[in-house]
Amino acid sequence: MTDRHDSGADRRKVLGGIALGAVAAASSRPAFAQAQTPPAAGMQARPASAEPAATKPAGRTGETLTRLGLGTYLTFDLLPGANRDRLREVTRIHVEAGARVVDTSPLYGTGEASVGQFLSAMGATDQMFVANKIWSTGDFLADESHAMRSFEQSQLRLWRQRFDLIQVHSLVNVDVVVPMLQAWKKEGRTRFVGVTHHDNDYHEVLASWVARGAVDFVQVNYSIANRGAEQRVLRAALDRGVGVFINMPLDKGRLHKLVGDRPLPDFAREFGAENWAQFFLKFAMSHPAVTTVLCGTSDPAHAAENVGALRGPLPDEAMRSRMVRHMEGIPGFDTIGRAPWYPDKQALYQGVIRRSQAGMRQRLS
């Protein structure tokens, strides 16, 4: 079983917005090409005959990214001083398998610090496409100071002078932050600008930012059980040449809870799925608009399952329909969205986020 990321609190929809054009900025970093990336220091290189990790061009950006990336919400948040060996191993497995995308945020507790330390120790920092986020308002309208402090803190934690992508986290203060990020892109703090959300209620807002050409990437929730993003967001991304990151491809652990010990259908071998994680991840990867599917876990065994989705064929449209029909035959599939997140796993994630949430509940009791 595996887990995924992003903030669980609902946010008010952002209304209106200013019309923005994309700010063109030439990048000094060469286009991403996983096949030419050497293994991280201390890691055994894959044999030359091994199948390379699957990649895909990210819309009009000129980047080519691996189709699987590492997500870090909750799974990488530990209390200071806690043993991080399992998270270090999860990171190593992804890097060694050829995954070259990691997504994090200042909101993810100690996640940024762990990602930065692990990648630096592995000699892999410069090999990774690092996607970070800004969740910021300010002391007054259009105040940049809070966002700049967050950015500078992220630089220290992740040990990066600039980021490949900075995203407006959950559309917070999006009308102010997108223009600010476009300025940061022009000034060299980030190479690309994006917007994110994890809730279907915000798909229209995401799609509107994609359609106006103001962003290079959009991050949206999408899975075999929740295909709502197909209606507007993914279609708009294809039309505008915007890169797409997917969150919640395993529906916060609920898909694995649903299938339990059921065996994979025999047809899964036709697209190389060896376990349910690869079945679900390859479904999300195979949508024509999707660039990279983000999946997080704190379990090295689950990480090893996940990275297997980087190899082998992806399902075509007919196979995708067959996959959906199979899942629809499993009782509870149509109501999975009403089930609690991370079933049977809440006790695993006891970092600074959960500590603060528990403290607030106690104060209010």
DSSP string, 152-178: HHHHHHHT-SSEEEEEEGGGTTHHHHH
- Residue by residue, DSSP assigns 297-326 as -S-HHHHHHHHGGGSS----HHHHHHHHHH
Phi, psi (deg, nearest 5) at residue 147? -65, -40
pLDDT at 45 over 90: no
Residues constituting the chain: 365
Distances (CA, A) of 189 to 26, 61, 147, 164: 13, 16, 12, 9
User: 344 falls in which pLDDT band (50, 70, 90)?
Assistant: confident
63-364 maps to which CATH number? 3.20.20.100
What pLDDT does residue 13 have? 34
DSSP 260: T
Please give the torsion angle defined by the CA atoms of residues 64, 122, 130 and 289, in that order, rounded to the nearest 10 degrees.
40
Phi, psi (deg, nearest 5) at residue 70? -95, 120
User: 345 falls in which pLDDT band (50, 70, 90)?
Assistant: confident
| 249-278 confidence digits (pLDDT tens) | 999 999 999 999 999 999 999 999 999 999
What pLDDT does residue 39 have? 42
User: 286 falls in which pLDDT band (50, 70, 90)?
Assistant: very high
Rounded CA separation 139/95 (Å): 40
Rounded CA separation 255/248 (Å): 10
12 vs 83: which has the higher pLDDT: 83
Distance of CA 199 to the CA centre of its chain: 14
Per-domain boundaries in the chain: 63-364
pLDDT at 27 over 60: no
Per the prediction, the chain carries an average pLDDT of 89
User: 347 falls in which pLDDT band (50, 70, 90)?
Assistant: confident
Distance of CA 173 to the CA centre of its chain: 20
pLDDT at 5 over 80: no
Distances (CA, A) of 50 to 97, 239, 270, 334: 10, 34, 19, 39
Rounded CA separation 342/348 (Å): 10
The H-assigned helical ranges of 223-298 are: 233-240, 254-259, 276-285
User: 142 falls in which pLDDT band (50, 70, 90)?
Assistant: very high
Rounded CA separation 123/131 (Å): 18
Strands 64-66 and 190-196: unpaired
User: 33 falls in which pLDDT band (50, 70, 90)?
Assistant: very low
Distance of CA 107 to the CA centre of its chain: 14
| DSSP strands (E only) in 30-142 | 55-57, 64-66, 68-71, 101-103, 129-134
Whose structure tokens read 């695993």?
348
pLDDT at 83 over 90: yes
What pLDDT does residue 43 have? 40
- Residue by residue, DSSP assigns 112-145 as HHHHHHHHHHHT-GGGSEEEEEE----SSTT--H
Rounded CA separation 33/28 (Å): 15
DSSP 107: T
Give the H or E element holding residue 192.
Answer: strand 190-196
What pLDDT does residue 346 have? 77
User: 50 falls in which pLDDT band (50, 70, 90)?
Assistant: confident
Sign, CA dihedral 327-299-354-261, equals: positive
What pLDDT does residue 21 have? 36
| 163-190 confidence digits (pLDDT tens) | 999 999 999 999 999 999 999 999 999 9
pLDDT at 14 over 50: no
| 194-243 confidence digits (pLDDT tens) | 999 999 999 999 999 999 999 999 999 999 999 999 999 999 999 999 99
